[in-house]
Structures are given as C-alpha cells and as structure tokens.
Structure 1
Amino acid sequence: MKKFLVSFNFVGRLLGPRGNSLKRVEATTGCRVFIRGKGSIKDFDKEELLRGRPGFEHLNEPLHILIEAELPVNVVELRLRQAQEIIEELLKPVDESQDIYKRQQLRELAMLNSSFREESPQLSGSLSPFTSNEMIKRAKTDQ
C-alpha cells in the first residue's frame, strides 16, 4: 500500500472521462487506486453524512490517493511502483496550453458522447502515460 499527497485538485485528471483514465491505470498495473480524503466524494452533503462513520475515517484526512494490490510477492512492489509512477506522471503540473493529456481526455470524452468531429485537431503519437497503447472503449450504459 502506498499513499501520497499532491497540492492541487487532481480528481478529474486522475479519473478521466467516465473514470476511464483510472480504470486504465488499474488494468495496466493490476493495482486498485482509490481517491480518499476530504473532497473525495462528489456530493458534499453525502460526504458530511458519512464523515466519522466506520470505513470513512479517511474523510478526516487531506485529499490523497491510495494504491493497493493483492498480487504475488514477487511482483507486488514492482506493480505498486509502476502505478505510482503512472499517477505521478498524470499529476505533474502542466501549463494548460501544453497539456496534451488533458486534450486527449477531452477528445476521448467527445468520442464517448458521440460528438467527436473528424476535423478536430489530431493528436500524434502515444501521449498516454500508460505503457501499452490501449484502444478507447465506450463505457457501457443502461440505455
């Protein structure tokens, strides 16, 4: 288990469109990644109701990321370190005009919402911090 803090609101950047960025970190590393601490629950009123209840003690801590893994002993440290490195790369402050990862997430969101236009600026090369070049998959919906 690893835990680290950052000094800005990182939740949207880490989650990505429909949680896909976080899901890719988990799929790539085999680790579970949790956003914990004050502000980790989107609904402020719900967070206030849960604060102090068993299992929600983390809501009294600053916003942070928790990485866990139940993997064989011979790979667990490597995978935890891999997940930490991917997340740290995602969370490096970048000037908005140079933020290629954010543009990639916005493009993915447009594709998920079926509003992507071919004349949209194309991104070249692999811009993802992930080691493999995953295809973007549509999230399942109840519709």
Structure 2
Amino acid sequence: MMQFNFVGRLLGPRGNSLKRVEASTDCRILIRGCGSIKDPTKEEIMRGKPGYEHLNEPLHILLEAELPVEIIDARLIQARDVLLDLLTPVDESQDFYKKQQLRELAMLNGTLREEGSPMSGSVSPYQNSLGMKRAKTRG
C-alpha cells in the first residue's frame, strides 16, 4: 500500500503550498486532529490542554474566512475544491504536483540540478538515470 503524506503535501516546502492556496482563495486553512503536530511527543504533551481538544479527533482541515457575504461561500467552495484535488492520492509516477514541490524544495535548499526539461512527463531511464534514481529514492 502506498504511503501518502497528506500534511506534507498540503504544507509543501516551508509551508509555501498552503500559503499559495490561502492567498488565492482568501481563506485560512488550519490542519487539525491527530497527526496535525509534526512532533508526536509534543502532540502527546498538548493533548487534552485547552485549545488542543481537536487532537482527539481524526486528522482534518478547518477552513475559515472573513469575507463579504456575497463572496464568502464561493471562496470557501473554491478552497475546498482545490484542497480535494490536491489531497486525492495519485500514483507516484503521475504525481506532477509532488515533483513540483520537490523541485521547489531543491531550489530553496540550493540543491537543484537541471537535467533536461524539469516538468517532462515521460523520461527514459537511459537518458536521465541520475534523475530517475533520485526520484525513486525520495519520500
């Protein structure tokens, strides 16, 4: 069974993916529930404390918006649709969103190595063996 890191996928490199969805929809996106705190030890310490009651619930997303009444529903629906699309598991070989996030992370870390077209959909392992090896060992 394929592991799917919902929180990591939603946040993206340094939280940038989440920030972009928030900026484009004017909605605030909060990750809540069991597994929403990166450090399991800290999550266990916080469980039961005021403001952390959500840790007893399954992992979920809370959308908030303070917008004029005539646009708020449309913006919340837009945010929900973007998140549903983003959080639908896809096969690793077809996961262009994850490839984009890994590329962004490499750029942020200064470790990006250009090897042909960065968003190429079909790459022969013989043309690009280093890139293929790296892609398979990530995650």
1:52 aligns with 2:48: yes
Separation of aligned partners in 2, 1:20 and 1:120: 25
The alpha carbon displacement at 1:118 in A equals 2.4
User: Residues 9 and 119 of structure 1: is their aligned pair in 2 closer, same or farther, counting only changes over 3 Å?
Assistant: closer
**1:104 and 2:96 correspond:** no
Greater relative contact order (Cα < 8 A, sep 6+) = 1
Question: Aligned partners of 2:18 and 2:105: how far apart in 1?
Answer: 14
Distance in 2 between residues matched to 1:64 and 1:93, nearest whole Å: 16
Per the normalisation by structure 1, the TM-score is: 0.78
Count of aligned positions: 117
Deviates more, 1:51-60 or 1:114-123: 114-123
- What secondary structure sits across from 1:34 in the alignment? strand
Name 2:133's counterpart in structure 1: none
Secondary structure of the residue aligned to 1:123 is coil
- Paired letter, 1:70: E
Distance in 1 (alpha carbons) for counterparts of 2:56 and 2:9: 23
Identity of aligned residues (%): 71
Look up the equivalent residue of 1:17 and give its one-letter code: P
Give the drift of 1:92: 1.2
Once residues 36 and 90 of structure 1 are traced to their aligned partners in structure 2, the CA distance between those partners, rounded to angstroms, is: 17
Give the TM-score of the pair, scaled to structure 2: 0.80
Aligned to 1:136: none
Give the equivalent residue in structure 2 for 1:29: 25
1-structure distance, mates of 2:5, 2:105: 20
In the alignment, the residues of structure 2 paired with residue 38 and residue 120 of structure 1 have an alpha-carbon distance, to the nearest angstrom, of 41
Larger Rg: 2
Could you list the structure 1 runs, at least 4 aligned residues long, displaced by more than 6 angstroms after superposition.
none
Residue 113 (structure 1) aligns with: 109
1:11 and 2:4 are equivalent in the alignment: no
Matched, 1:86 2:66: no
Q: Could you tell me which amino acid in structure 2 is paired with residue 75 of structure 1?
A: I
After TM superposition, give the deviation of residue 22 of structure 1 in Å. Answer: 0.3
**1:114-138 residue CA offsets vs partner (Å, 9 max, x unmatched):** 11122254216xxxxxxxxxxxxxx
Distance in 2 between residues matched to 1:16 and 1:65, nearest whole Å: 15
CA distance, structure 2, for counterparts of residue 67 and residue 31 of structure 1? 7
Find the aligned partners of 1:41 and 1:120 in 2 and give their Cα distance: 38
